[in-house]
Amino acid sequence: MGNAQTLERARAALGTLEHSVRDERDGLATLALSTATLGQALEALKTRAGFETPTLITAIDWLGTREPRFDVVHQLLSLAHNDRLRLVTPVAEDQRVPTATHLWPGAAYMERECYDMFGLVFEGHAGLKRLLMPEEYGWHPLRKDFPHQGIEPDRIYREWDRKRRAEWHPEEAR
């Protein structure tokens, strides 16, 4: 996996799109982008640089360390060239991230998980809803300000139970 060659190919595909190269500990080719350029960059990387499949889409919460708070991480894999590319996009809490679902349908669950866990909204994602947590859950658990022991873990289950009882045994309802 020639790191320099990967970067060269990716940067050639990006052309005039604004980006910068990052040096990461695992030596994986990494580019830093912005939310404005990410959508075009993903498309260019798929069509012109031969990154056929996404490996992961996730986020990192840097609360209290820096602004903007989140990093959205896309990691792409090229089978033809046998290399990986990581894209890091800083995102503020109220900013929207362009979706990758029109390029890879497989990105849908990754982005849903990201929305579920961090509350990041992906622009253009059809059917963006929670993946692992229940739809009624009011928090985003992987944010750093979410406590490890959870917030009222039983609340929604109690509410479900109350609703069900009211429906099935209306005579018991006060």
Instruction: Say if residue 142 is exposed, middle or buried (CB neighbours under 10 Å; 0-12, 13-18, 19+).
Output: middle
35, 96 contact by CB (below 8 A): yes
Contact stretch for another protein (CB under 8 A) within 7-15, 21-29, 33-41, 157-165: 21-29
Contact stretch for another protein (CB under 8 A) within 6-14, 47-55, 156-164, 165-173: 47-55
Residue 166 three-state SS: helix
Q: Is 61 in the site for another protein (CB under 8 A)?
A: yes
Q: Is 84 in the site for another protein (CB under 8 A)?
A: yes
| Amino acid identity for residue 158 in this structure | R
Q: Is cis: bond before 105, omega within 30 of 0?
A: no
Q: Is 52 in the site for another protein (CB under 8 A)?
A: yes
Q: At what angle do helices 35-47 and 3-14 cross, to 10 degrees?
A: 110
Q: Which of 13, 42, 45, 54 binds another protein (CB under 8 A)?
A: 54
Q: How far is the CB of 107 from another protein (least distance, A)?
A: 7
Q: How far is the CB of 169 from another protein (least distance, A)?
A: 22
Q: How far is the CB of 54 from another protein (least distance, A)?
A: 5
Q: How far is the CB of 80 from another protein (least distance, A)?
A: 10
Contact stretch for another protein (CB under 8 A) within 6-14, 33-41, 142-150, 154-162: 142-150
Name every residue whose Cβ is closer than 8 Å to that of residue 126 and which is 6 or more positions away in sequence. Answer: 101
158, 165 contact by CB (below 8 A): no
User: 25 or 174, CB closer to another protein?
Assistant: 25
Q: 121-123 and 96-98 as β-strands: parallel, antiparallel, unpaired?
A: parallel
User: 15 or 82, CB closer to another protein?
Assistant: 82
